[in-house]
Amino acid sequence: MAISKVTTASITDADITTAKLAYDAAPFRNIIINGDMSIAQRSTSSETVTGSGGLYYHTVDRFGMNIHSDFNNKSTMAQNLDSLTAPDYFDDYVGLQIDTATTPSGDVYYNFRQQIEGNNIGYLKFGTSSAKTITISFWVRSTLTGNFSFSLRNANSDRSFVTTYNIATANTWEKKTITITGDTTGTWTSTNAVGLTANWGLGNSTGTFSTSTLNSWQGANKTGATSGVDLVATANAKWYITGIQIEAGDTASDFEFLPVDVNLARCQRYFWSPTTGTSGNGSVGVGGFFNTTQGDFLVSFPTAMRGTYSLGYSALSDIRVTSHTAAYDASAIALNASVALTSSVVRITSGTALATAGNYGYFFLKNTSARLNFDAEL
């Protein structure tokens, strides 16, 4: 017999599940930002992995490299390295290639990581008896097979969890899922500073930062398994990743894709690089001149920055200032004042007296390869 209508009374609570709902019942569940690797403000080209000891960003937003000096300038990183076909539903990924093999020895490390803001992990209640279980999922591919290192760590580097994931078949995308019980001890930041570091170790099998204690929290700074594969030890070895998601709960849900404007805005909280458009000459800030060689220009950010930021640029010759009477290339540029997290005042100097005090003006980037950036990365 056909049922002419469904009443509320005929539906039990058990029949109502997230999978059956027409909308996502848990939006913004992914605490990783740019997990689909689609935003790359710094560069979409191959970049040499440089810098040692800190966290250095080269290509895709929010993901950086933390490497020991032994591995400096010995690998390449790029969005969509080798132009592979990404896993279903994904357009982008990030890849690493080892250009010069180096066998790890001593207290060394080669880490791909994202440092997650404390404001985004407070609800996980780490460091308390109410700590939540979390699940990490991602798509990964490599020319090598075996057990690779993954770890979580707090900001004080005195609480860490190290585990491994297995790549069974070379040159094949594989989805990995790791479930971790929340840490009930330790100090976990819930401010705009670093709260949690998610770390993929690719050269961490020796020394102080490696451990054979897996799948449990420990009171130490550990980022790799002693049994982990060291990608850095094999010339021309490659490793690719996309679809990274970390969420509360013991089950991995489908990757949460965000509209591009939302994803970009989340990245710009940490790093903003004004674009010039296809023809260059993109205006960045407006202001006025207080003498014949210097002007202050207000730059408004597309979203509030996370915190204190620094100013960087590709070259002074890429920055041009226009006044009411003349135009000149910058000979110096600096933050004059951090007005707020939503804007800043940039002071630009010319080596030649070309402006008139009191005149208005603006500055712009002269070509599409020119770069100016405001950096509030963790």
Q: What is the pLDDT of residues 267-309, one digit of tens each?
A: 999 999 997 655 556 689 999 999 999 999 999 999 999 999 9
Question: Does the pLDDT value for residue 1 go beyond 50?
Answer: no
Contacts of 10 (CB under 8 A, 6+ apart): none
pLDDT band at 338 (very low <50, low <70, confident <90, very high): low
Say if residue 262's pLDDT is above 60: yes
pLDDT of 228-246, one tens digit each? 999 999 999 999 999 999 9
User: Both tokens of residue 149?
Assistant: 């290192």
How far apart are alpha carbons 6 and 15 in whole angstroms? 13
Whether the CB-CB separation of 290 and 350 falls below 8 Å is answered with: no
CA distance to 100, 179, 314, 317, per residue, from 327 (Å): 46, 58, 20, 13
- Report CA torsion sign: 304, 310, 315, 321: positive
Give the pLDDT confidence score for residue 287 in this predicted structure. Answer: 94
Query: How far is 22 from 352, CA to CA, in rounded Å?
Result: 63
148-198 residue pLDDT tens: 999 999 999 999 999 999 999 999 999 999 999 999 999 999 999 999 999
Provide the whole-model pTM: 0.92
Yes or no: say if 98 and 240 are a contact pair by the CB < 8 Å rule. no
Average pLDDT, the chain: 92
Strand pairing category for 47-48 and 310-313: unpaired
Report the CATH number of the 20-268 domain. Answer: 2.60.120.260
β-partners of residue 201 are: 111, 149
- Cβ-based neighbours of 21, under 8 Å, separated by 6 or more: none
From CA 160, how far away is CA 180, in angstroms rounded? 11
**No. of helices (H) and no. of strands (E), the chain:** 1, 24
Residue 343 to residue 337: CA distance in whole angstroms:
10
- The angle formed by the CA atoms of residues 57, 229 and 180, to the nearest 5 degrees, is 75
Query: Which H or E run includes 268?
Result: helix 260-268
| Residue bearing tokens 């640029």 | 313
Domain ranges (residues) in the chain: 20-268, 271-375
| pLDDT tens figures, 85-126 | 999 999 999 999 999 999 999 999 999 999 999 999 999 999
Give the C-alpha separation, 206 to 166, whole Å.
Answer: 19
> Which residue type occupies 68?
H
Q: Say if residues 183 and 155 touch (Cβ distance below 8 Å).
A: no
Residues 295/322, Cβ–Cβ less than 8 Å: no
pLDDT of residue 26: 81
